[in-house]
Structure 1
Amino acid sequence: MPALIDAALAQPGLWPMVLAAVLAGIVRGFSGFGTAMVFLPVAGQYLPPVAALSVLLAMDLLGPLPNVPAAWRSAERRDLGRLALGLLLGLPLGLGLLVVIAPEVFRYAVSITALVLLALLAAGVRYRGTMTPALVTGAGLVGGVFGGAAGIGGPPVILLYMASTKPVAVIRANLLLFLVIVDIASLVLLGIWGRLQPGPVVLGLALTLPYLLANMAGAAMFRPERARLYRGVAQAIIAASAILGLPLLD
C-alpha cells in the first residue's frame, strides 16, 4: 500500500487533477451532476481510459454522500428506480466498448458528448410531454451505455430532466442519486471483469477529501429559487472543461 500511495503522489498531472476534482465537486454539489464532464477531460490527458474512469469512480463514490440524504427526500423515487433499471441494462455494453477504445477516441467522446448536451440545453430544448416509465427507463439505458463507454452516464438523463418542466430541486436530486448508482454499478462490474486496477483506485481515494469538501461547498451554494443561476454556472464550467479536454488542444 505505501508503494501505491507513493505512485499516486508521483502521478504526472496530479495537481491539474486535484484542481479538476475541486471544480467537479463544486459543480456536483451545486447542480447534482457534472463530475465526469469536468474531471474526465482533464484526467484523460494523463491516464488511459480505464484508469481515468477508475480514478473517477473511486473519488466519486464517497464525495457526494453528505448530499444524499437531502436528495433522497426531494427525489421522485419511482422514476429513480426506472433509471436504475435502464442503467443496469446498458452499462455492461458500454464497459465492453470502453476496453477497446483508444485514449484519443475516449477523450473526444467525453468532450463532444458534453458539448452537444450543452448546445441542446442552451438552444432551449424542452420536453413538455409526459415522462412515461418507458421514456425514463430508456434514458437510463442510454446513460448506462454512455457511462460504460465514455465514463459519462449522465448526459441522456441530464438532457431529459433539464429539458423537462420538473422543479429544479427534483431535477437535482434525481440526477445526483442516479449518478451515485452509476458509480456503484460501474465499480462492481469493473471489479468482476478484473479491470479495476489498484493504482488508479488509490489515486481516486487520495482525491476524495478535496472532492468531498468541494461537494459540501457546492451544496451550500444551491438555492432552488435561483433556477437560471443553477443552470448557467454548471453549464459554463462543464463547457470550459470539455473544450480544454479536446486532444487537438494538447
Structure 2
Amino acid sequence: MSDPIMLAGLTEWEWVFCGSAALLAGCVRGFAGFGLSAVAMACLVLILPPVELIPIFYVLEGAASFAMFRGGIRDADMSHVWPLAIGSFIGVPIGLMATTTVSPDISKLIAVLVILILTMLQFFRSMPAALTSKSGRYVIGTTAGIVTGLASVGGMVVALYVLASRAPATQMRAALTMFLFVGMFTSLGHMLLYGVMTETAFIRGAILIPITLAGVFLGTWAFKPAWQVHYRRFCLLLLVAICLTSLGRLAFVG
C-alpha cells in the first residue's frame, strides 16, 4: 500500500466501501446534476463523522464541477445562481459551527436526517412560492449554506428551489452545476478557518477523484433529455433507500 493511502488512515475494506460510494455518488451527480455529497454522506457516515466527510466531498464536488462546467455555463441562468451563491457564503460558517461543536454520533444522525427530510420535500415539491422570488433566492442560498456546513448537501436545497420553479431538467442540472462550482470558492475559506480542511481530508478526496469522475461521466452519458420525467424520481428514491438503511445501521450500532 502506498504512503498516501496509509497516511489517509483507512483500512483496505473501508477504502473499498469509500470507492463504491464515490462511484455511485458520481453516477447520481452526472445523471441528476446534484446528489453527490448526499449519496456519499448517507453511505460513508457509517464509518466517518460528517466533520471529516465534508472536506472530502468538497474535493469531490470540485472535481465533478470542473468536469461538468462546460455544460453548466452554457445552459444555466446565472441571474438565479449568483444570489444563491451569495446566500450560501453567509450560511456555510453557521452550519460548520454546529458541526464542529456537537458529538460525532449526533452529527451523523443530523446529517442523515437532513438528507432524508430534503429528499422527502423534493418528492412533494414543498417550496413556499415566496421563496422562489428574487429576494427569496438569498434565503434559499443561506439555507443551502447552513446545510452545506452541516452535511455538505446544500445542492439539495437549491435543487428543491429549481424544482419549484418548474425548470426543464437540462436547465436544472446546469444551475446546480454552476451553484456547486461557485460554492467551491466561497466555502474553502470557511473550511480552512474552522480547521475542517486538513491534509488527511484532502488526500482522501484526491484518492477518490478518479473513481468519482468515472461515475460522473457514466451518469452524464446515461442522462437523456427524453428521460427527464423519470430521472428525478429515480435519484430521490435512491436517496431515501440509502438514508433509511443508514439510519437503521446507526440505530443498530448505537
Please say whether Structure 1 and Structure 2 have the same fold, judged by a TM-score greater than 0.5.
yes
Which residue in 2 is equivalent to 1:114? 115
Give the match for residue 245 of structure 2. 244
CA distance in 2: counterparts of 1:75 and 1:85, whole angstroms: 17
- Moved >6 Å (runs of 4+): 126-130
Structure 1 range deviating more: 230-239 or 2-11: 2-11
Q: Indicate if the aligned counterparts of 1:153 and 1:182 stay in contact, CA closer than 8 A.
A: no
Structure 1, unaligned runs of 5 or more = none
**Unaligned 5+ residue runs, structure 2?**
none
Structure (1 or 2) with the greater helix fraction: 2
Which runs of structure 2 are paired with 1:1-250 in the superposition (5 Å)? 3-8=3-8, 10-11=10-11, 13-123=14-124, 125=126, 131-246=132-247, 247-250=250-253
Evaluate the alpha carbon distance shift between residue 119 and residue 199 of structure 1 in structure 2; reply closer, same or farther with a 3 A threshold: same
- Worse-superposed segment, 171-180 or 124-133: 124-133
- Cα pair distance change 1:90/1:162, threshold 3 Å: same
2:34–2:177 contact (8 Å) kept in structure 1: yes
Give TM-score, length-normalised by structure 2: 0.89
For the residues of structure 2 that align with 1:191 and 1:81, how far apart are their CA atoms?
23
Distance 1:138 1:128 in 2: 13
Distance 2:121 2:80 in 1: 23
Question: What RMSD, in angstroms, separates the aligned Cα atoms of the two structures?
Answer: 2.1
Give the CA deviation at 1:144: 0.4
Contact 2:93 2:190 in 1 (8 A): yes
Distance 1:249 1:160 in 2: 34
Q: Using the alignment, how far apart are the partners of 2:130 and 2:50 within structure 1?
A: 37
Q: What is the Cα deviation at residue 249 of structure 1? A: 4.3
